[in-house]
Structure 1
């Protein structure tokens, strides 16, 4: 049990620390706004510098596809439209349970507006128990619970494309109705960068094939990121803050012998004049509610495996309650009219969801596995194991003791 009395004595110091952080943050934002203005004045020069010296940078930054001072008011959504969304949840494997297995549950949402049609709100669970499901990742040095998370990501993308294309594709049915497919989180699967190629392809290729079906069907795809911690747009401003004529980090900031940062730059580099500051914090002071920033293109390494049409772009949108990061493929970024319509539908979803897209929230609610669901799942599994003639079915002594604790 948590002793709140002991915690109470630590909170005043924490309050003073947070107040000081807030004051420092306001100063960084002011410097960031000034640096953003200076970067816009030298926009073409910075673009040329990145094109020439981008491979010499020791940090990853996004590249703007529009001027830095771009501000676009998003149009209202069309009266009739359809929104698709998926989200997932899981029961992780545990050696203390009655059987070593895991479950992935994907919630599916299809909402129709202005069409007098019933919505789809359901979920598709799948149990993984075969050795090839449980132990295949070990040959790549990946834990089973980590692999389960990767598989869930692939399932969400595949089911989203299957649901959306099945609804839109039949000729003469719904292809003329504006629509959008949405997921919670980033479209840049950076977490796959450091796993072996064979494992990466097993997860990423099915997702990219699903995105291809969406692209061929002209169904816009969006990744919505709330409370984003991204800094790759702020990193681009480091080009403007670099004190050298050429931003050659490898020469100016690294020790040529060891390849590490030079001793005087261990804590911070000369170009890090406004960090730590997030992209959303900077654009929160630049955008009005309903406006979007200019479009940026991500340069993450994992995108080298993406096809050209599905390179991930993003912008920041002031949705009223916050500034959110919205990601979409390059083919959508290049279609100005379709992008504006798609972002209008997204903004409508945020308004309907009181600050968060209602379709994604409902997909989460369909997918989430609560304590009671978990208990019923293992109870059903236990019944099946007994029917199959298995003996000594039960949880470990450790789990039994924890469940029966009187503390």
Structure 2
């Protein structure tokens, strides 16, 4: 490493412990301070982004596009600010769902703008366009992808990754992927029946796919899942000291409604309720940590009231109505993570408790994600729950697809 780079890195490291930005870029609404802390070192994990010396040489002298959001940090600083300060010629920022500074609600269209901190143009990939245009790609030499995922089929950042890979392949650009841990690194759930392909399920994978973004990119290439079977020239900057079963606390909220570590770990289980009449806490400051509905007043004592919260959920299910149910904010999430399984017992419990069974799987009032078939990935689960089938009986119906996926996945893993 040259003296110039050594000095730059020393400056970067000295700045990485600085206080958080004064704007909301690194701070989700209602998020406890514990979720914002820099990851403590017992695990010794080093993210791809933090290995500046491993990838900045590829960017030097090139026109760079960055696919990033508020999770894209080097130390405690947004990576775009760090790299901009190191002289990297960043020409464009591409922002996914929720926007670059995480100021848009789930599903809300995001507009193009100019970043107030760096004056770099920000192009939305969650508005009228889902991938960069020909003109935008021609203005760049190389792209960097650095977004924290949570490891679920219905979390849209893997769709953004695929779109970017397709654009790079179509225009002959290399994509550098700065890998980050998957907080839900286990594999579970039925593999998506492609009859139910949608914006919350585009690939034949289980609910929790057990891969980092770098690994998933390898699978997209290897399985020919990109449009027209194109192959993207990718270079993954791998994590150091990471394993898939490691319990990992995110230093930054990945999206407005995953604003605590509990919500992140509970998300694979609780998001299925978006295909029901049961609120998962959207419209509160504890989304994906509570469950309830107005009709359950006689069954539960705990209550909450969803309201319109700009930047989180403007039109939540059961808006301005008191919902009764359960509070999972103090649930043993480390224990749940250790099982390597989605919890289906809450679905059975609420179906049994809900007085109007024919309305339970009605998601028409929700402005969130969609039908239970699209979320779970098949048209069997709804019938199975209504028939009172046991969890093990339901899990048996996920085979052999789940086992076949696990075998296929092995070819693309970068970590044990």
Task: Provide TM-score, normalisation by structure 2.
Answer: 0.23
- Greater Rg over alpha carbons, structure: 1
More helix by share: 1
Task: Provide TM-score, normalisation by structure 1.
Answer: 0.24
Identify which of structures 1 and 2 has the higher relative contact order when contacts are C-alpha pairs closer than 8 Å and 6+ apart.
Answer: 1
